Homo-oligomer: A and B are copies of this chain.
Amino acid sequence: MVIHNISSSLANSLRQRRQRLANLIDFPAILWSGSSSPRNFPANVFPFRASSHFLYFAGLPLPKAAIRLEAGKLELFMDDPSPSSALWHGEIPKREEIAQIIEADAAKPLTELEFCVAEAATIAVQDAATWTQQSQLLNRWVLPQNPLQGIDLELAKAIVSLRLTHDEEALTELRKAAGVSVEAHKAGMAATPNVKREAEVRGAMEGVIIAHNMTTSYNSIVTVHGEVLHNEQYHHPLQPGDLLLADVGAETEMGWAADITRTWPVSGKFSSTQRDIYDVVLAAHDACIAKMRPGVEYGDIHLLAATVIAQGLVDLGILLGNAQDLVEMDAHALFFPHGIGHLLGLDVHDMEDLGDLAGYEEGRERSDRFGLGYLRLNRPLRPGMLVTIEPGFYQVPAILNNAHLRSKFENVVNWERLSQFNDVHGIRIEDDVLVTQEGSEVLTAALPNDADTVENLVNG
């Protein structure tokens, strides 16, 4: 439990958040923090991660706690540590102490929660011990996989409308996460010439995150096989002609996330084909960020990235035709099959525990188009929203060897020309971008992304 790193504005920010919630719902809400999940035996647990909805309103990663929110008031429910736990875990802050820090209106032992559950909405926490408890106390099934209904759905919608844009308290944390992630990427680039395997670069990067007393906000991708989009293997050797793709982000002690991807040449020098494609991806990245401002549709940002990539590939002779037409027929998705990004906040895909409720504006649904179905965010941008911008280019065997896709796009791909780019397996450039009143601000801007500077960082 963290009580050493409390911002002086925390209590005030929490009060504003619960007041804003009270403006949206007229029933009580109970949010549980969750408990540690066992790894290979009950006493050997994964590091505790509090539920993000709890963190948003309670501010602190308290295990086995719950808060009840009603009409702008917060009641904290948690048990004081047992006397014997002091032997193993030292002096743990007591309920009253925590209550004071977050300015709770009341603080009670967990056993009293059962008397305050009437008409209360909730959201399922991920660990089984806690959703079992939620279900028992509320006397109905509260399961992470169940679709939200009734007041639970109303509560979720209210929380989404709050968490969609970030207050100053959140931004301070998000900037910290971004800053440490930038340092981790620099360490990864600097380590590359001295090491032999992907895992060693990962060790250098995550070592920086751990040294800042943070965790990774998701399982890192550090791979010379960037064409495997969610690659979680780290055993491949680094060869001189390889590109290394690193998608690594830090999460602060209070739970706020960053999410950065860079792609760099193992040798410290891009080949000419690698640099050509890199510059296409970077052009898409820069065009998207330049376009961002309140009111712009994130779906249009995605289409802009697709168009810039298609145009770049036309210019390189890989795609044939007009960029606009190519995007309309999803030809870009042969090489850029995922969405341009997602919401970022307490979760790296923010509020994805609620399905598409946060990502998709009410009334909108996922497209079944090859080039649009993986888009995780489809809303107009608003000041205070934080999103990732992460265009990429990949040669995914499962796509490029797919007979149906090959025949569909037979006439718009110059396959022979493409074969000259065989040393480009996967490139992605990802930054964390805040929508501001005037346009946007890149929170991860301290990490260079132009090809020359990236080479210099690798070469030290």
List the one stretch of A20-28, A202-210, A273-281, A440-448 in contact with chain B. A202-210
List the one stretch of A81-89, A95-103, A312-320, A322-330 in contact with chain B. A81-89
CB of B231 within 8 A of CB of A213, answer: no
Q: Which residues of A223-270 have CB atoms within 8 Å of chain B's CB atoms?
A: 225, 227-235, 255
State in angstroms the CA–CA spacing of A232 and B235 once bound together.
29
CB of A45 within 8 A of CB of B219, answer: yes
The answer, yes or no, to whether A271 is at the interface (CB within 8 Å) is: no
CB of A229 within 8 A of CB of B128, answer: no
List the one stretch of A46-54, A112-120, A407-415, A428-436 in contact with chain B. A46-54
State in angstroms the CA–CA spacing of A144 and B37 once bound together.
12
Interface string of A347-374 (1 = CB under 8 A from B): 1110111000000000000000000000
Instruction: Report if A37-B127 is in contact (Cβ < 8 Å); known contacts: A89-B231, A207-B210.
Output: yes
Residue from B43, B89, B126, B234 in contact with A41 in the complex, judged by beta carbons closer than 8 Å: B126
CB of A210 within 8 A of CB of B219, answer: no
**Which 6 pairs of residues, A with B, have the shortest CB-CB distance?**
A207-B207, A203-B211, A128-B128, A90-B228, A86-B398, A199-B213
The answer, yes or no, to whether A337 is at the interface (CB within 8 Å) is: yes
State in angstroms the CA–CA spacing of A197 and B4 once bound together.
13
| Copies of this chain present | 2
Could you pull out 11 A-B pairs where Cβ atoms are within 8 angstroms? A2-B235, A5-B235, A40-B346, A41-B347, A45-B219, A87-B398, A89-B230, A206-B210, A207-B207, A207-B210, A213-B234
The answer, yes or no, to whether A11 is at the interface (CB within 8 Å) is: no
B residues near A44, Cβ cutoff 8 Å: 218, 347-349, 352
The answer, yes or no, to whether A155 is at the interface (CB within 8 Å) is: no
Chain A residues in the interface with B (C-beta under 8 A) = 2, 4-5, 37-47, 49, 51-52, 83, 86-91, 126-128, 144-145, 195, 197, 199-200, 202-204, 206-213, 218-219, 225, 227-235, 255, 337, 346-349, 351-353, 396-399
CB of A49 within 8 A of CB of B39, answer: yes
Residue of B nearest to A222 (CB): B210
Residue of B nearest to A211 (CB): B203
B residues near A204, Cβ cutoff 8 Å: 207, 211
Instruction: Report if A37-B46 is in contact (Cβ < 8 Å); known contacts: A200-B211, A208-B203, A211-B204.
Output: yes
B residues near A2, Cβ cutoff 8 Å: 235
B residues near A43, Cβ cutoff 8 Å: 349, 352
B residues near A232, Cβ cutoff 8 Å: 47
Residue from B39, B200, B229, B353 in contact with A87 in the complex, judged by beta carbons closer than 8 Å: B229
State in angstroms the CA–CA spacing of A352 and B43 once bound together.
8
Instruction: Report if A90-B225 is in contact (Cβ < 8 Å); known contacts: A44-B348, A47-B219.
Output: yes
9 new A-B contacts at CB < 8 Å, known A40-B347, A91-B397: A38-B126, A42-B126, A42-B353, A43-B352, A44-B352, A46-B46, A47-B232, A88-B230, A128-B128
B residues near A46, Cβ cutoff 8 Å: 37, 39, 46
**Most chain B Cβ neighbours within 10 Å, of A128, A209, A218:** A128
Q: Report A147 CB to chain B, min CB distance, Å.
A: 13
B residues near A52, Cβ cutoff 8 Å: 40-41
CB of A49 within 8 A of CB of B45, answer: no
B residues near A351, Cβ cutoff 8 Å: 41
Q: Report A110 CB to chain B, min CB distance, Å.
A: 19
State in angstroms the CA–CA spacing of A219 and B52 once bound together.
22
CB of B40 within 8 A of CB of A396, answer: no
**Most chain B Cβ neighbours within 10 Å, of A4, A44, A396:** A44
State in angstroms the CA–CA spacing of A235 and B214 once bound together.
10
CB of A83 within 8 A of CB of B37, answer: no
State in angstroms the CA–CA spacing of A39 and B209 once bound together.
18
CB of B197 within 8 A of CB of A202, answer: no
State in angstroms the CA–CA spacing of A144 and B218 once bound together.
27
State in angstroms the CA–CA spacing of A418 and B206 once bound together.
41
B residues near A347, Cβ cutoff 8 Å: 40-41, 44
CB of B228 within 8 A of CB of A42, answer: no
B residues near A199, Cβ cutoff 8 Å: 210-213
Q: Report A458 CB to chain B, min CB distance, Å.
A: 18
B residues near A399, Cβ cutoff 8 Å: 87
